[in-house]
Amino acid sequence: MQAKRVTFPGRILPALLLLPQLAITAVFFLWPSAEALWQSLRREDAFGTRSEFVGLDNFRQLFADPAYLASFSTTLVFSASVALLSLALGLLFAVLTERVGRGRALYQSLLIWPYAVAPALAALMWSFLFDPSIGPVAKLLGRLGLPWNHQVNGGQALILIVIASTWKQVSYNFLFFVAGLAAIPRSLLEAAAIDAASPWRTFWTIVFPLLAPTSFFLLVVNIVYAFFDTFGVVHATTQGGPAQATTTLVYKVFRDGFVGLDLGGSAAQSVVLLAIVIALTAVQFRFVERRVHY
Amino acid sequence: MAGVTLDAVRKVYPGGVEAVRGVSLDVQNGSFCVLVGPSGCGKSTLLRMVAGLETISSGTVRIGARVVNDLEPAGRDIAMVFQNYALYPHMSVYENMAYGLRNRGTPKAEIAARVAEAARILAVEPYLQRRPRELSGGQRQRVAMGRAIVRQPQVFLFDEPLSNLDAKLRVQMRVEIKRLQKSLGVTSLYVTHDQVEAMTLSDQLVVLNGGLVEQAGPPTELYRRPATRFVAGFLGSPGMNFIAGTAAEGGTIRIGDLTWPAPVGAAARPGTAVELGLRPEDLRVADDGEPALPFTVEFAEELGASRLVHGRIAGSAAAVQLPAEAAPLLGTVPVTARAEAVHLFDAETGRRL
C-alpha cells in the first residue's frame, strides 16, 4: 500500500509526538518483558532475599512438568472453543439482526452490552447461574438428567469458563460483523439473486468470502483474547480448579508466581507465552492473510 | 426471446412516497428501449421492478406472455448490468461469468463453452483468470456485460452502466453496447440520465418525469415533435431555447412588443400564456422580410465543428448554433427558423400546442 508521507520541518517535533506512545510501550511492555526475560534465567530462594543465575534451568523444569503440559492442552482446547464459538455466534447474530426490519437498532445495542460488563462481574454472574446448589441453570440441567457441578467436574468447569468468556466476546465479534455486512454492496446481493443463488448459497459463496478479512482479523483478536485476557473470568469462576482442570497458561503464571512465589518459573512461563503470541500472530499474518484478501 | 409489457405499474414505498405513478409501456421483442429522466423520476425503480428487485405495488409486468409480478429475480429470465458493475470481487472473471450458470446447474462443459464465447465477443479472453480489481473500468464493464450474455436471457436490463466511466470510454462503450445488442437481438431496457446516451442507443425512447411517462416513441420523433415542454427541454444538447409569450388573434404570438406568426397547426386560444421553443441548431440569421426575433449577442463558444453563440432573445437567455465558418455575429441580429422547427407549448400545462 502506498501511504502519504508527511514531512516535518525538524526532528524535535516528530520525536515529541512519538514520545508518549513510546514511553507507554517502554514502561508497560519493554521493561516488564526484559525483567521477565532476566528473571526467567534466575532462581530466588524461598525468602526472596537472594537470587542466582541458573541459565535455562527454569525452562527445562517447565517442560518436564506434567502439570504445565496439561495446562498447555487445557489452554488449546479452551482458546479454540472460545474463538470458534464467539466467532460463529457473533456472525449468526449479525446476520440475523440484519434481517430484522423494525427495532434493529435496539437488538444491536442489546447484543453489544455484554462487552461493557467487567470480566469479573460476567464471570460471577455465570457462576451464580450454574451454581450447583442455587443456580437456576444447574437446577434445570439436573432436572433434565444432566447433573451439573463444576466445582467437582473438571470438564464442566472448562465448559463454564468457555461459556463465560464466549459470552463476553460475542458482542465484540458481533459489532465487527455488523460493520462487515454493512460494507457489502447491496448490488452484489442483488446480482446474486438474479444469478439464481439461494439465500443459503449467497451467504456461503458471496457474503462469507467477502467477510473473510473481518473474520481473519477477529480470529487473531479472539485467540489473543482467549489466551491472555481471560484471567479475570477464570479467577472469578473456578480459580483454575477443580484439580487444575481450568488452569490456563496465563492463570498458571499468576498462580505459580504470586501464589506459589516461584518467580523464576513464572517468568519462564511468561516468556513462553510471549513467544507463543509472537509466533501465532506471525503465522497468521504470513500465511493466512494473503489468502483472505481479495 | 420476448418483449416486455408494463401495464399501469405503480410503486408506493412504505413511507407513502409514490416513485412510479402508473406507467404503461410496450417494449417490442428485440428492441432497445431507453428510460431517461432526471434523478428521482422513477426510472431506476421501474427497471428494478422489472428485474424483481423491487415489489410492484399495483399493475402488471409481463415478460413475453408471462406475468412476472410474483416471480423471484432468478425466475424471470433476465440479466442485469449494474451501475457499479456488481462484480464479485473475490472471484476471477471466469468465475464471475460462470456463477449464474453454475447456480442453475448448467453442465460444466457448456459453461466453459458459453464463457469462452462471451469472452471472445467482449474481448476479455486475456483476463479470465484475473480478479475484478486488477481490471480497468472499461474491462470491468465488459465483464459485467459478459456475465449478462452468458446466461442468454430473454431481456437485458441496464442500470446506468456507463456513468462510472470517463467521457471518452463512455462513448466507446456506448457504441459497443449498441453493436452487441443489435447482433444478439435481445430485448433491452436501459436506464440513464444522459440524454445523449438515450438518443443514440434507443429504438424506443421513454422520457419519465415525476413517476409518469412524459412521452414514448422513436428518439427522432421525440426530438422533432416533443409532446411536452419537459421533453423538449430535456432532449438536445445544447438545450432548446424557450421564449415566453401570449397567444394573440390570427394565430400570432406576442412576445413583449414583438409579434411572431404562430407555428403551423397551432391552435391556441388568444390570451393563453405560451412558450415558444426553438432549438439552437434550427436558428439562423434572417433575411430581410422574414418573420424574425432580435437576438442580442453576448459571447460565442467555439465547438470545433460549429460555433455556439450565446445571447438573449426578448430578455430570455438563448443560444444559436452556427457553422464554424459563418461570419461572427455582433450586436443585435434578426434570427429565424423554419416553420416546422418552431415548437409552441402551453405555459401552464406544458403541453404542445
Interval B213-244: pLDDT, tens: 999 999 999 999 999 999 999 998 889 999 99
Q: B197 and B60 in one domain?
A: yes
DSSP secondary-structure letter at B292? -
The CATH architecture assigned to A54-292 reads Orthogonal Bundle (1.10)
Q: Angle at Cα B90 formed by Cα B87 and Cα B91, nearest 5°?
A: 70
Q: B55 and B8 in one domain?
A: yes
Residue B163 covered by a domain: yes
**For residue B25, what pLDDT band results from cuts at 50, 70 and 90?**
very high
Whether pLDDT at A7 is above 50: yes
Nearest in space to B101 (alpha carbons), one of B121, B79, B81: B79
Q: Is the separation of the CB atoms in B44 and B191 below 8 Å?
A: yes
Q: B242 and B229 in one domain?
A: no
Using the beta-carbon criterion (under 8 Å), do A196 and B84 form an inter-chain contact? no
Q: B202 and B242 in one domain?
A: no
Whether pLDDT at B1 is above 80: no
**CB contact residues (below 8 A), chain A span 180-239, against chain B:** 185, 187-188, 190-198, 201, 205-206, 209-210, 212
Q: Is the separation of the CB atoms in A222 and B103 below 8 Å?
A: no
DSSP secondary-structure letter at B352? B
Q: Which residues from A are below 8 Å from B135, CB to CB? A: none
Q: What cell numbers appear for A52 in the block? A: 542466582
| pLDDT score for A264 | 80
**For residue B264, what pLDDT band results from cuts at 50, 70 and 90?**
low
Final residue belonging to a domain, choices B202, B233, B264: B233
Residue B257 covered by a domain: yes
Residue A267 CA to residue A59 CA, distance in Å, equals 10
Return the CATH number at B250: 2.40.50.140
Q: B248 and B152 in one domain?
A: no
Interval B161-179: pLDDT, tens: 998 888 888 998 899 999 9
Residues forming beta bridges with residue B139, ordered by sequence position: none
Residue B351 covered by a domain: no
Picking from B86, B103, B133, the nearest residue to A196 by CB comes out as: B103
Whether pLDDT at A294 is above 80: no
Q: What is the ipTM of this complex?
A: 0.85
| pLDDT score for B278 | 92
Q: B222 and B161 in one domain?
A: yes
Interval B281-327: pLDDT, tens: 999 998 887 888 889 999 999 988 899 999 999 888 999 999 988 88
Using the beta-carbon criterion (under 8 Å), do B78 and A194 form an inter-chain contact? yes
Q: B26 and B135 in one domain?
A: yes
Using the beta-carbon criterion (under 8 Å), do A194 and B133 form an inter-chain contact? no
Q: How close is the nearest chain A Cα to the Cα of B103, in Å? A: 6
Using the beta-carbon criterion (under 8 Å), do B90 and A185 form an inter-chain contact? no
Report yes or no: A292 at the B interface, CB cutoff 8 Å. Answer: no
Nearest in space to A40 (alpha carbons), one of A51, A27, A28, A29: A51
Return the CATH number at B101: 3.40.50.300
Q: Count contacts between A and B (CB, < 8 Å).
A: 59
Domain spans, chain A: 54-292
Residue B192 CA to residue B44 CA, distance in Å, equals 8
Query: Which value, to the nearest 10 degrees, does the dihedral of the CA atoms of residues A244, A248, A249, A253 take?
Result: -60
Average pLDDT value over all residues in chain B = 90
Q: B229 and B243 in one domain?
A: no
Residue A156 CA to residue A167 CA, distance in Å, equals 16
Q: B296 and B181 in one domain?
A: no
Residues forming beta bridges with residue A203, ordered by sequence position: none
Whether pLDDT at B112 is above 60: yes
Final residue belonging to a domain, choices B194, B214, B233: B233
Give the H/E segment covering residue B299. Answer: strand B293-302
Q: Which residues from A are below 8 Å from B53, CB to CB? A: 190, 193-194
Sign of CA dihedral B254, B260, B261, B262: negative
Residues forming beta bridges with residue A93, ordered by sequence position: none
Give the pLDDT mean for B130-143: 91
Q: B262 and B193 in one domain?
A: no
Q: Is the separation of the CB atoms in B51 and A194 below 8 Å?
A: yes
Give the pLDDT mean for A201-227: 89
Final residue belonging to a domain, choices B196, B213, B233: B233
If one counts the domains in chain B, the total is 2
| pLDDT score for A290 | 67
Residue B352 covered by a domain: no
Residue B226 CA to residue B289 CA, distance in Å, equals 29
Residue B271 covered by a domain: yes
Give the pLDDT mean for B140-155: 92
Which domain range does residue B120 map to? Answer: 4-233
Whether pLDDT at A1 is above 50: no
Using the beta-carbon criterion (under 8 Å), do A197 and B83 form an inter-chain contact? no
Q: B307 and B179 in one domain?
A: no
Residue B337 covered by a domain: yes
**For residue A2, what pLDDT band results from cuts at 50, 70 and 90?**
very low
Give the pLDDT mean for A95-109: 86
- Beta strands at B332-336 and B293-302: parallel, antiparallel or unpaired: antiparallel
Q: B37 and B121 in one domain?
A: yes
Picking from B78, B90, B103, the nearest residue to A201 by CB comes out as: B103
Interval A108-162: pLDDT, tens: 888 888 888 888 888 888 888 988 888 888 888 888 888 888 788 888 888 988 9
Picking from A190, A196, A210, the nearest residue to B90 by CB comes out as: A210
